[in-house]
Amino acid sequence: MSEYDYDVLVLGAGPGGYTAAFRAADLGQRVALVERFPELGGVCLNVGCIPSKALLHTAAVIEEAASMEKHGVSFGEPFIDIDKLRGFKDSVVKKLTGGLAGMAKQRKVDVIQGLGTFSGAHEVTVETADGRKTLTFRNAIIAVGSRSLELDGMPWGDPRLMDSTGALELEEIPLRLLVVGGGIIGLEMACVYQALGSKVTVVELTPGLMPGTDPDLVKPLQRRISKRYEAIHLETAVKRIDVADDGLLAHFEGKHTGKEMFDRVLVAVGRTPNGGKINAESAGVEVTDRGFILVDSQMRTNVPHIFAIGDVVGQPMLAHKASHEGKVAAEVCAGEKSAFDARVIPSVAYTDPEIAWVGVTEAEARESGLKVGIGKFPLAASGRAIGIDRTEGFTKLIFDASSKRIIGAGITGPNAGDLISECALAIEMGAEAGDIGLTIHPHPTLSESVAMAAEVFEGTVTDLYIPKKP
Ligand code: NAD
């Protein structure tokens, strides 16, 4: 018998944590998965990626049905039964979290529900419904994620002031919604509520929406939502919100000033890691002032038998990064020589149109001093995009012009989030423009735009006329 209760204890059951626990169990480890909430899946499955995508699908169908009018097919105004819609969203979440609980059982992973904190270098204490339990471990994997940043001076506690979790609860469809923060969460939820009938205003602190993303990728989205939303205020902040019986009064400062009443306000100004909430010091694990835990490429913290993965180890705070890191940590715990060596991690905003990017951005490539080559194929020249009447986006591939290797990509348009995977694979495989352009893509598809963007860079494209430079 081992001197410890478990070979591997995983703290937190989000996409990083449950992946780590399942992989460790598959490698023959005795595993405990400690989660404070009754359901597995963390923010992503319960109050993040999954419910938001269920609602974004509803938004997309409403928009698409309305757009059919100009093709001669009218469906009339949608009737929205919000309870039924919420029920569907909840059923999606339940199906997935239930599936996880089943898979944990099949793998003989011990799921322990309760808030877990370290109480020693090989010990976690869990506040369970049946009292305090102390579990000992040989290795631990910290997968405690992040939480929404709360802006100071806001009337938190008033149900009309929401973070992303509150917005996904879909308690009502407000007449006027203010979204504070023009990042991914803010713009995805704005998209949902606008389609459901809210008049939406977005306030963003910086000069552009989705800062850090190439501005040309964001432009088609901005153009579309500028027509649909009540207002988009850039370089503006919300100084304060006053509570009134008939709404929340927001005071703006910056480029846009004044005050306005809204029925609800969503604050989505970023997320902050939970590293400071687990008493990591008692295990000797160092946590930065901001709550991050630093790790090496094997996901080891400064304490060699304690690992950390996911949002708590740094940006980008994305589920697919966390799950890959979780596998690495589990494999290292089981004695394998794994390391996190992914070249790139794709990002997707599931807005309408979708925006996806991977590898270096064009701005980063140009700043790096590389000889940059760009191949850009507009969806206005794609037969498939014309057929579905969504021609406002494009596919852009970024090359190191000296080696002709792809180093980045960005796509704006329908299904961009699915299309970007090919670009990620191309970067991982060290593909050159010719490899992409000479790969036969089915016609007519949106995926052709990836090959054609490579052809634009190569100068071999025939679906566009690009005059030769003299
Ligand atoms: P974010 O960092 O993407 O965006 C926050 C935005 O708020 C930024 O544009 C920022 O400039 C702005 N901002 C900051 N302070 C402000 C203020 N006082 N007033 C107005 N604007 C302000 O953060 P998010 O949208 O909250 O998302 C959080 C995290 O979750 C991100 O790391 C993101 O990667 C992740 N996430 C990913 C997805 C996805 O992959 N589709 C979806 C949701 C969230």
Q: Is the CB of 265 under 6 A from ligand 1?
A: no
Q: What pLDDT is recorded for position 153?
A: 84
Whose C-alpha lies nearest to ligand 1, atom 12? 181
Compute the distance between CA of residue 144 and CA of residue 275 in angstroms, rounded to an integer.
7
Q: What is the Cα Rg of the chain in Å? A: 24
CB 287 within 8 A of CB 183: no
DSSP 8-state code for residue 464: S
Whose C-alpha lies nearest to ligand 1, atom 38? 184
HSE of 245, CA atoms in CB hemisphere, 13 A: 0
Q: What pLDDT is recorded for position 2?
A: 81
Pick from 44, 164, 179, 184 the residue to mutate for probing ligand 1's pocket: most ligand atoms within 8 Å of its CB.
184
443 is catalytic: yes
Q: Is the CB of 137 under 6 A from ligand 1?
A: no
Compute the distance between CA of residue 437 and CA of residue 417 in angstroms, rounded to an integer.
20
Fold exhibited by the domain 6-147+272-333: FAD/NAD(P)-binding domain (3.50.50)
> Which ligand 1 atom minimizes the distance to the CA of 268?
26
pLDDT per residue over 24-45, tens digit each? 999 999 999 999 999 999 999 9
CATH class entry, domain 347-458: alpha beta
Instruction: Find the catalytic residue in 57, 251, 305, 443.
Output: 443
Closest among 433, 466, 427, 467 to 451, alpha carbons compared: 433
Q: Which CATH number fits domain 161-269: 3.50.50.60, 3.30.930.10, 3.40.605.10, 3.30.2290.10?
A: 3.50.50.60
Q: Is the CB of 204 under 6 A from ligand 1?
A: yes
DSSP 8-state code for residue 163: -
Structure tokens at 350: 């599931």
Q: How far is the CA of 211 from the centre of ligand 1 (A)?
A: 9
Q: What pLDDT is recorded for position 469?
A: 79
Helix (H, G, I), strand (E, B) or coil at 273: strand
Q: What pLDDT is recorded for position 1?
A: 62
Q: Is the CB of 350 under 6 A from ligand 1?
A: yes
> Which ligand 1 atom minimizes the distance to the CA of 48?
43
Contacts of 455 (CB under 8 A, 6+ apart): 375, 377, 437, 461, 462
DSSP 8-state code for residue 110: E
Q: Is the CB of 181 under 6 A from ligand 1?
A: yes
Ranges under pLDDT 50 in the chain: none
Angle between helices 15-26 and 319-333 (to 10 degrees): 30
Q: How far is the CA of 186 from the centre of ligand 1 (A)?
A: 7
Q: Is the CB of 203 under 6 A from ligand 1?
A: yes
Compute the distance between CA of residue 449 and CA of residue 419 in angstroms, rounded to an integer.
9
Cβ-based burial of 165 (10 A; exposed 0-12, middle 13-18, buried ≥19): middle
Q: Where in the chain is the domain with CATH 3.50.50.60?
A: 6-147+272-333, 161-269
Compute the distance between CA of residue 411 and CA of residue 318 in angstroms, rounded to an integer.
18
> Which ligand 1 atom minimizes the distance to the CA of 186?
25
The residues with which 264 forms a beta bridge, in sequence order, are 177
> Which ligand 1 atom minimizes the distance to the CA of 417?
41
Whose C-alpha lies nearest to ligand 1, atom 18? 237
